[in-house]
Amino acid sequence: MHGDMLRSLPGEKAALRPARLNALFALAVLLLTASAAWPQTVWQKYAGNPIVPYYVGGGYALNPSVLADDGHLYRMWFSAKPYGGPWAVFTALSDDGVSWYSYVLNPVLEAGPAAYESDGATHCDVIYDGTGYKMYYTGVRGCCGDAIGLATSPDGVHWTRYAGNPVLLPSGTGWDGSAVSAPRVYFDGTRYYMYYRGNNSGLDQTGLAISSNGVDWTKDPLNPVLPRGGPGSWDAGFTQPGGVFVHGGTFYLVYTGGVPGGPESIGIATSPDGIAWTRSASNPVLSGDGQGSWDGRSTAASVLVEGDQLRMWYSGTPVLGSEWSIGLATTSLGLVIEPSPRVAGLMQNRPNPFAIATEIRYAIAQGGPVRLRVFDLSGREVSTLADEVMEPGVHSNTWVPNDVEPGVYFCSLESGGMTKTRKMLLTR
């Protein structure tokens, strides 16, 4: 790598393999390298935090989105903004998730021609869906972001905006009537789950939209799926989505919460289907180290499962400051994951009522024979959706009712010697 392609910052040491990085793109050094052993007892903050300081982005560096390939090459996209300048998206690479090298031609996504992003792009999440990279980002107009756009890339560096942007707009009324922003997306191979921040001239809450193609989104009718906490709770003021992952059939959402006027902290919630969420009793799981610390206010961002470890890249700023930087924390996955369901569970079909098709999700407690069937009001079986041996976890089947009349039907799940039943309403 040519020396003029790297810019050394005070106190740093290079740790990446130049030959490997030369094949990708020109990089500039961000920050110091160090090694650390992680005590696997609680969330442990990296001793060298922040790993991406605020001045890398000119004045702000926050909201990281991190992916790792099979060779453990880490890619990060984060929001950056010089003082008094517009928001934009930067990218960086790392060999270990700790020492980062910034792309010399940053930013990779700036303000666009559409009105909703005329003043910048920020708070993005990037996924790789097998065909290429998809970036879901917040467009900035005036002071704030109020809609979500999509850009695609073959390499994570060169991005093309989707011609039909924005892909998610405020509802006009209700809890997300004035703004939607800060998307976090999970792709299970067939379905995209977008968790987003919604606002209606009040405090933020977390909603869900689902898509089969990553472009056309349908908001969940039960939104917000993670509303503000109850009176007196640590997240009574607001919730904002962070990283999401699935382990053992259970969804895990890392999110930001707080009270009006207080510092933000980070919590975790779990769900059997990505829709109905239960907050962890140990929340908040990560908070600032005091008023003078770099992360006195902490917001959730990106998480990756690596073996028996969970790594989280998060944003922080001093309580009385506005210089956002990015840090790293880690914990044992075993301290985060919830046990598998003890008994079989059948969730309400969605949508319900329905006219064309409906999805039925269910949890299996122990491996073995499973039968999922549909009956009419007379008790006559009209469809067998599953009759096979299954592993523990959350499963789903879709019922497309052919040659049956509208009316009430019952879905029956048989597993582990137990039977669960749900009522469904078919309309035409």
- In tens digits, what is the pLDDT along the chain, a chain of 428 residues? 333 333 333 334 333 344 344 434 434 434 333 333 322 338 999 999 999 999 999 889 999 999 998 777 999 999 999 888 899 999 999 999 999 999 999 999 999 999 999 999 999 999 999 999 999 999 999 878 789 999 999 999 999 999 999 999 999 999 999 999 999 999 999 999 999 999 998 889 999 999 999 999 999 988 999 999 988 999 999 999 999 999 888 899 999 999 988 889 999 999 888 988 989 888 999 998 877 899 999 998 899 999 999 999 999 999 888 899 999 999 998 878 766 556 678 888 888 889 999 989 888 878 899 999 999 999 999 999 999 999 887 788 999 999 899 999 999 999 988 888 999 999 97
Classify 115 as helix, strand or coil.
helix
Q: Which residues pair with 359 in a beta bridge?
A: 350, 398
Residues 6+ apart with CB under 8 A from 38: 44, 309, 330
Architecture of the 3-335 domain: 5 Propeller (2.115)
Instruction: Look at residue 339 in the predicted model and tell me its pLDDT.
Output: 60
CATH number of this structure's domain 345-426: 2.60.40.1930
Instruction: Look at residue 292 in the predicted model and tell me its pLDDT.
Output: 80
Dihedral sign for Cα 213, 217, 221, 223, please. positive
CA distance 297 to 56: 19
Backbone angles phi, psi at 290, to 5 degrees: 125, 170
DSSP code of 172? S
Give the angle subtended at the CA of 322 by the CAs of 114 and 115, to the nearest 5°. Answer: 5
Nearest to 405 by CA among 422, 425, 385: 425
Same fold for the pair 3-335 and 345-426: no
Instruction: Look at residue 2 in the predicted model and tell me its pLDDT.
Output: 31
The whole-model pTM stands at: 0.76
H/E run at residue 20 = helix 18-22
CA distances to 38, 76, 116, 336 from 311, in Å: 11, 13, 33, 11
CA distance 90 to 55: 13
Region for 120 from its dihedrals, namely left if φ exceeds 0, alpha if ψ lies in -120 to 50, beta otherwise: left
β-pairing verdict for 325-332 and 345-346: unpaired
- In the chain the first and final C-alpha atoms are separated, in Å, by 65
Burial (Cβ within 10 Å: 0-12, 13-18, ≥19) of residue 130: exposed
CA distance 215 to 107: 24
The two three-digit tokens of residue 359, written as one number: 């999805």
CA distance 254 to 270: 9
Q: Residue type at 231?
A: P
Nearest to 228 by CA among 208, 202, 257: 257
Dihedral sign for Cα 318, 324, 327, 332, please. positive
Classify 383 as helix, strand or coil.
strand
CA distance 302 to 75: 11
Q: How many CB atoms lie within 10 A of CB 106?
A: 20
For the chain, the domains span 3-335, 345-426
Dihedral of the CA atoms 109, 112, 114, 118 (nearest 10)? 110
CA distance 340 to 144: 41
Q: How many CB atoms lie within 10 A of CB 164?
A: 10
CB 169, CB 189: distance < 8 Å = no
The two three-digit tokens of residue 184, written as one number: 């976090």
CA max distance for the chain: 79
Nearest to 100 by CA among 303, 328, 266, 315: 328
Q: How many CB atoms lie within 10 A of CB 4?
A: 8
